[in-house]
């Protein structure tokens, strides 16, 4: 990387860091181009050079935060102990169950530990700026999501996890966790992440477990 490229990357990082800090501190109302450039010390012209627009900056920040969230989930999956593929059914199912539980706890753990990033992801999920930058979002999201779903696919083929379209598998695994995180981030009463981390993994696994499979012990 040339010195010029390095400086450009550093400028991008300063803008993204300032944007996330501002959103965490002041919320959507304080998340403005004027505030970001003032906080970062980067000019408006430089912001436009690197991101095309303030919406482009917001989309890049969303992509970054979402990638970090999904990477945390993937890391939790990678930490699941290896089992013997093709081994005893109970052992293989136990690993499938452990993977589903890892997705849930990894997602909720990221939400607790990186609250600002999680809040930006959930608050921006239906923001207008995403539609104009859907290619950028897909570039970060799709391979990571495919990796998570791909982890489960052998267990679907083995008849241990219910065979549904990927989109519905995603809803069963991620949907309840994302909604729990969204409500916790919004300060909804009655939502406790520790309790959710304790209770949701088993319930979500049961929703994915093939009906004819024996319960894992």
Query: Which residues share a beta bridge with 209?
Result: 161
- Residue 211: per-residue pLDDT: 72
214 located within any domain: no
Whether residue 173 sits in one domain with residue 66: yes
Whether residue 103 sits in one domain with residue 80: yes
Whether residue 112 sits in one domain with residue 60: yes
Whether residue 114 sits in one domain with residue 32: no
CATH number, domain of 27, equals: 1.10.10.60
pTM score: 0.89
- Residue 215: per-residue pLDDT: 45
216 located within any domain: no
Whether residue 179 sits in one domain with residue 98: yes
Whether residue 68 sits in one domain with residue 135: yes
Q: How far apart are CA 98 and CA 100, in angstroms?
A: 6
CATH number, domain of 85, equals: 1.10.357.10
Q: How far apart are CA 190 and CA 184, in angstroms?
A: 9
Counting beta carbons within 10 angstroms of the beta carbon of residue 31, is it exposed (0 to 12), middle (13 to 18) or buried (19 or more)? buried
- Residue 214: per-residue pLDDT: 45
Whether residue 194 sits in one domain with residue 163: yes
Whether residue 59 sits in one domain with residue 42: no
Domain interval for residue 189? 53-208
Among candidate residues 21, 15, 27, 26, the one with its CA nearest the CA of residue 57:
15
The answer to whether the CB of 55 falls within 8 A of the CB of 11 is: no
Whether residue 194 sits in one domain with residue 169: yes
The 10s digit of each residue's pLDDT in 46-73 is 999 999 999 999 999 999 999 999 999 9
Signed CA dihedral, 157, 158, 163, 165: sign only: negative
- Residue 82: per-residue pLDDT: 74
CA 130 to mean position of chain CA atoms: 16
Show the beta-strand stretches assigned E in 70-209.
Answer: none
Give me the torsion for CA of 201, 207, 208, 212, rounded to 10°. Answer: 120
Query: How would you write the pLDDT of the chain (217 residues) with one tens digit per residue?
Result: 787 788 889 999 999 999 999 999 999 889 999 999 999 999 999 999 999 999 999 999 999 999 999 999 999 999 998 765 444 345 689 999 999 999 999 999 999 999 999 999 999 988 888 989 999 999 999 999 999 999 999 999 999 999 999 999 999 999 999 999 999 999 999 999 999 999 999 999 999 999 754 444 4
The answer to whether the CB of 216 falls within 8 A of the CB of 98 is: no
Whether residue 155 sits in one domain with residue 131: yes
Whether residue 43 sits in one domain with residue 145: no
HSE of 113, CA atoms in CB hemisphere, 13 A:
10
Whether residue 73 sits in one domain with residue 25: no
Q: Total domain count for the chain? A: 2
- Residue 16: per-residue pLDDT: 97
């Amino acid at each position: 990387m040339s010195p010029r490229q390095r400086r450009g990357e550093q400028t991008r990082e300063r803008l993204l860091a300032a944007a996330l800090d501002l959103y965490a501190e002041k919320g959507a109302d304080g998340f403005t181009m004027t505030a970001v450039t003032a906080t970062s010390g980067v000019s408006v012209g430089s912001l436009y050079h690197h991101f095309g627009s303030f919406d482009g900056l917001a989309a890049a920040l969303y992509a970054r935060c979402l990638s970090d969230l999904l990477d945390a989930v993937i890391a939790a999956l990678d930490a699941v102990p290896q089992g013997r593929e093709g081994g005893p059914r109970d052992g293989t199912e136990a690993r499938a169950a452990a993977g589903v539980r890892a997705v849930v706890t990894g997602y909720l753990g990221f939400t607790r530990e990186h609250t600002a990033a999680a809040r930006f992801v959930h608050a921006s999920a239906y923001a207008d700026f995403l539609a104009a930058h859907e290619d950028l979002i897909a570039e970060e999201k799709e391979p990571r999501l495919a990796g998570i779903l791909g982890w489960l696919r052998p267990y679907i083929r083995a008849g241990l996890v219910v065979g549904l379209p990927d989109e519905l598998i995603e809803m069963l695994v991620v949907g309840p966790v994302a909604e729990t995180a969204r409500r916790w981030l919004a300060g909804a009463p009655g939502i406790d992440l520790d309790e959710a981390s304790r209770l949701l993994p088993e319930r979500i696994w049961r929703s994915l477990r093939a009906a004819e499979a024996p319960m894992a012990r």
